[in-house]
Amino acid sequence: MSRDDRAYFQVRAEAELKMAQAAQNQEASRAHYTLAGHYLDRAFGGTEGRPPLITQIRTKLQRFRY
């Protein structure tokens, strides 16, 4: 996956997290968190079909404080 693709998915995940936190409806919030998770999987997915280690994701997301 190209860097541009990873950056896109990361930006989308961040947007979904913000919308999840701002949602006033629990179902909408859950949907945004679910979408954020899918975008994070795409952005930080493991190689060769293996899922990423949670420590790898946390390291990459440390700069974001929600």
DSSP of the chain: --HHHHHHHHHHHHHHHHHHHH-SSHHHHHHHHHHHHHHHHHHH--STTPPPPHHHHHHHHTT---
Would you state the pLDDT for residue 28?
93
Would you state the pLDDT for residue 51?
61
Would you state the pLDDT for residue 44?
81
CA distance 16 to 47: 24
Would you state the pLDDT for residue 16?
93
Q: Tens digits of per-residue pLDDT, 13-57?
A: 999 999 999 999 999 999 999 999 889 888 887 555 566 666 666
CA distance 22 to 29: 8
Would you state the pLDDT for residue 3?
84
pLDDT: is 44 or 8 the higher one?
Answer: 8
